[in-house]
Amino acid sequence: MATISYLTTVKFDFGAIMELAGALQSFGIARPMIVTDRGVRAVGLVDRAEAAMKMPAAAIFEDTPTNPTERAARAALQLFRDNRCDGIVAIGGGSPIDLAKACALMATHDGPLGQYAAVEGGIARITADMPPVIAVPTTAGTGAEVGRAAIVILDDGRKLGLVSPYLFPKMAICDPELTLGLPPKLTAATGMDALTHCVETYLANAVNPPADAIALDGLARCGASLERATQDGQDRGARWNMMMAALEGALAFQKGLGAVHAMSHALGGLENLSLHHGTLNAVLLPTVLRFNADAVGHKYPRILAALGLPEDADLARTIEDLNRRLDMPASLSAMGVTEGVLDRTAELAAKDHTNATNPKAANADDYRRLLREAL
């Protein structure tokens, strides 16, 4: 059992879910609300968590949408207040965990969520005064359990990041056992999310050698385990390594992300489409790698080496080949994205907080071109 204190405390190993009761006690949570989604609850993972908590949840919010929204956060907050809850246990992928963070923020911070978005100067408005959140991931992708951001679709339709060191969950309980039943397509999509996080954080223009080292280790784990976990969901070693890779990608978030996320955040807010974040990242990554190629110096060969591939290979083509083997969509149009949304998406991408740390400067015109190439 590894106990890691980096940005939040992590309990990591098969069986780590049994640490949940002690975590509640440590943070003085007597009336926890569980935030999850219907799919996670349907497969019995909420029941397993409640058994490990050694107390019933005071409330369960299971209506987390595919992409968390301000509206859903308000609904969760009402349930939290109605049941006099004093802490949140988030169980699921990135959406329930991000929704739990947003709910905790709204419990003690007045006004609409938009004023707390990073691009609206909201970082300084977020204080430490909020109920504790314990995160229990059931996928190996977003790393939201150790991330300082919550990505939420606001009432005005923008998908923005709420970013603050106070949004880190108080504890992450990472049990690869909870991912053994994940279907192949979701394993692949969330795994590509983790891989993209490691790539983008490593390429980000900030200087942070520890984050670089963490990202490269995560890439090595993805290279060795992503296809294995997709092909054999019961491969315990592959599941362990993919959950660690997802965690590592998010540990490196403090260095920043880049153009892939700027576009995937903007596309994720489209009103008439429910686009999976990890799948978007997989589709967009090759196009962005080609765009950034002349601005990254020696870094592509190091990424390829971490993935166990020849250092002179074409990295963008390597990712495209991996996407094909994982049965990812070949383009944005295959996901239902149309030409008509590209202009607004490009404008939003240029304003996204992740754009600032892309290794090559990108404006709205660049994003229009990149989106058309990925279409």
Residues of 323-350 as b/e, b for ≥16 C-beta within 10 angstroms? beebebbeebeebebeeebbeebbebbb
End-to-end CA distance of the chain: 44
Longest dimension (CA), the chain: 59
Cβ contacts of residue 371 below 8 Å, gap of 6+?
263, 332, 342, 345, 346, 349
| pLDDT, position 2 | 54
| Cα separations in angstroms, 213 against 10, 245, 257, 303 | 19, 12, 15, 11
pLDDT at res. 69: 94
pLDDT tens for 120-176 read 999 999 999 999 999 999 999 999 999 888 989 999 888 888 999 999 999 999 999
Q: Residue 247 and residue 264: Cα distance in Å, rounded?
A: 20
Radius of gyration for the chain, computed over Cα atoms and rounded to the nearest angstrom: 19
Rounded alpha-carbon distances, angstroms, from residue 252 to 22, 148, 160, 231, 347: 27, 11, 19, 27, 26
Q: At 59, which helix (H) or strand (E)?
A: strand 59-61
Q: Which residues of the chain have pLDDT under 70?
A: 1-6
| Structural contact between residues 34 and 53, judged by C-beta atoms closer than 8 angstroms | no
Instruction: Decide: 172 and 19 in contact? Cβ < 8 Å.
Output: no
As given in the structure block, the two tokens for residue 370 are: 């990149």
CA 284 to chain centre: 16
Do residues 33 and 61 touch, judged by C-beta distance below 8 A?
yes
Angle at the Cα of 176 (from 195 to 274), degrees rounded to 5? 55
In order of their start, the domains of the chain are 2-178 (3.40.50.1970), 182-374 (1.20.1090.10)
Q: For position 160, what pLDDT does the model report?
A: 85
Task: Supply φ then ψ for residue 61, to 5 degrees.
Answer: -105, 115
Contact status, residue 122 vs residue 54, Cβ threshold 8 Å: no
Residues in the chain: 375
Strand locations in the chain (E): 2-5, 9-12, 32-35, 59-61, 87-92, 133-137, 149-153, 159-163, 171-174
How many CA atoms, within 13 angstroms, populate the side-chain half-sphere of residue 76?
35
pLDDT at 3: 59
Query: pLDDT at position 273, please?
Result: 86
For residue 338, the number of C-alpha atoms closer than 13 Å in the C-beta half-sphere is 5
Q: Is 222 exposed, middle or buried (0-12, 13-18, 19+ CB in 10 A)?
A: buried
C-alpha 269, offset from chain centre:
15
Here the tokens at position 299 are: 């870094």
pLDDT at 6: 64
CA distance 355 to 3: 33
pTM of the complete model = 0.92
The enclosing H or E element of 32 equals strand 32-35
